[in-house]
Structure 1
């Protein structure tokens, strides 16, 4: 699932490092860095590391304040009164809500990610991972993103919602269109793809209403019966909840699978250790958390200041956009030492992979279930995972991870 409540790709905001240089004849720029510069996009993680060292709170060319440090990020997450999640003009349930409005809606969402529900869903999730892993060319070369990571995220989310297999391909096509529109900052195209996605959800709601007592007892049907403040959720509220779940799943889980597979390919010692202990689900879950701390699958989320505030040495006015950069905070040397060192003995409370505070990711239990199953099944289906001959293609902002990941499977 999404790594924080508001992890929609179109809700991610500017992140990056300085691309403007001063000359003796030019005035100082009005901003510190350009998040969308080619230099940043060539390696986002390295760019954020550099920025964290030289300008830990920076004004971007698009007018957003980016926060790179772990302590500053924790402060923001702990203070939703000053750093509001109400950043969009569109209804966003519950991620775009602040306390106390947020609480009743969040309580509804949390009921769908309990330990009992995760245990009940595990066999279906594992069956999808096993089938896709069994179809991989072993031995042989494969683009893991298109052959495994993307279809896994798509099929698992449809299974979790109770949606038919006929939606697999339309949702994959929709994901590509959504990413292209967001990357281009094409507002008209973004609105069109958002409406397209909402139509898929509304169709599923209408089918269940028409079926009456014969409607399947799935997650989508259950949402139709949810109530808040003594009334049923509106269709607009249900669509917003499901949109948030699904966009986070399709984008962030696919990115996570690719990042994990690439890490295993580049770290044969870790791969060997996990192969030897792949039946230890707790170990695999800790390993996935640590791998995704090193290389974040979600770059950033937005906040908006409700009062004047000082972060670091920067005075920020009320009403300003502030970006929390998971891809930087989770690599802060003051907390983690060498950010690239893989360690399973770190304090889990320091890892902001799934956010923190009232807006921490409600779907974290499902994400951890999916990722430990993926790791288990990929290791079970192969004797080795290595980088292929072709170079992988990095995802660009607002994405993370890889758009293509050529691997050699043995």
Structure 2
């Protein structure tokens, strides 16, 4: 399984913990033959080091296999010095202060999602909560996209982010490129509407007015930003939330532990960091060797590819005592769930707030539940690992409070 490891392979997903453990212990620079061959980097110290060596490891392309785009996606596939110029353009939009200002709107979205569940005997918590929350956050709060277009954009984004493991790399790339084109065409219409009717405080309006070295962004650069920030802004958080909601059925004691501390802000902050360490949504990102070198006792040539395995690094016993245990008050916690280095997740503050708000409202207002009889969760592989279907049956709704905002 190590020799054929791939983030698009269901066998790799299902056996991830055992695979990562064996890699760290026996072959920390494991060679996989999948997608033309690459090195899987599994130890914390090596993953961290590689993420900070942008002078010898390029971020373009950032996935294995590559998306197939001819130019780097902005800013995730850009290298210094140009990377900082582009990332800085949206730094304010995703800063802690800006994210905190959006808290009332995000909480209103969560309350609406919960109200849509109340009193029902069953629901799909992946589709109706885990995916819906971050999708609405990025489309409604950040872009002002009309509700009628949410489902279409979600479908196209998922074509880009979740390749079909039964299809070839070429087939998946073709589908992803078409989805990217469809989204770009939609963003072009949105941009034209903003230019015609006046700019607002949404992300596209902002990108249309900022400058780099005295020059406005081209339309293609604006679309490139959106094609990274929008799908990445919802799919990673959706993957983590879906796995968390599934965990509540598999390990009910975790829900009990979180319920006990959810109203304590300091304890909740620590718990969120531990959840991101324990169930990071992204299995890894690629780096590409630009100069011959020795890294982690391995001779690398120009063009060699590395896959930095965040989940494996987060379970490395050299960095985390009892790494396979979920310890909600773990300190210190230098997890790599949001990545590391210059490409550390731009939306990490938004993801943290979405997780916290959902826990505050959900744990107080939604009863315990179990996976529906004769059903099972449906996992997806790809550039994130998560659950796309989580059919559950609720226990008695009368056992929980029904008033909105009870978790505030």
TM-score interval, smaller chain: 0.7 to 0.9
Match of 2:264 among 268, 280, 293: 280
Moved more, 194-203 or 168-177: 168-177
Q: Secondary structure at the match of 2:285?
A: strand
Q: 2:144: which partner in 1? A: 162
Which of 76, 81, 94 is matched with 2:55 structurally? 81
TM-score normalised by the chain length of structure 2 = 0.86
User: Where does structure 1 lack aligned partners over 5 or more consecutive residues?
Assistant: 1-16, 19-31
When the two structures are superposed, what TM-score results if normalisation uses the length of structure 1?
0.86
Residue of structure 2 in register with 1:309 after alignment: 293
Distance 1:282 1:113 in 2: 22
Confirm whether residue 189 of structure 1 aligns to residue 175 of structure 2.
yes
Indicate the residue corresponding to 1:68 in structure 2: 42
Note closer, same or farther for the CA distance 1:181–1:260 as it changes in structure 2 (3 Å cut).
Answer: closer
Tell me the distance in 2 between the aligned counterparts of 1:199 and 1:221. 16
What is the Cα deviation at residue 387 of structure 1?
4.3
In structure 2, what is the equivalent of residue 134 of structure 1? 115
Task: Kindly report which structure 2 residues correspond to 1:2-401, keeping only aligned pairs within 5 A, or say none.
Answer: 17-18=1-2, 32-35=3-6, 39-61=11-33, 62=35, 63-87=37-61, 89-138=70-119, 140-159=121-140, 160-179=142-161, 181=163, 183=165, 184=167, 185=169, 186=171, 187-212=173-198, 215-347=199-331, 350-389=334-373, 390-401=375-386
Secondary structure, in 3 states, of the residue corresponding to 1:402? strand
Q: CA offset at residue 49 of structure 1?
A: 2.9
Distance 2:10 2:366 in 1: 36
Paired residues of 1:182 and 1:398 also in contact (CA < 8 A):
no
2:131 match: secondary structure: helix
Aligned position for 1:21: none
Shift of 1:379: 0.9
How many residues are paired up? 379
Give the structure 2 partner of residue 25 of structure 1: none
Contact 2:263 2:360 in 1 (8 A): yes
d(CA) in 1 for partners of 2:180, 2:164:
11
SS at match of 1:264: helix
In structure 2, list runs of 5 or more residues that go unmatched. 62-68, 396-408
> More relative contact order in 1 or in 2 (CA 8 Å, sep 6+)?
1
- Structure 1 residues 38 and 99: alpha-carbon distance in aligned structure 2, compared to 1, 3 A threshold: closer
The answer on whether the counterparts of 2:315 and 2:323 sit within 8 Å (CA) in structure 1 is yes
Whether the 8 Å CA contact 1:299–1:327 is kept in 2: the answer is yes
Q: 1:45 to 1:133 in 2, by over 3 A?
A: farther
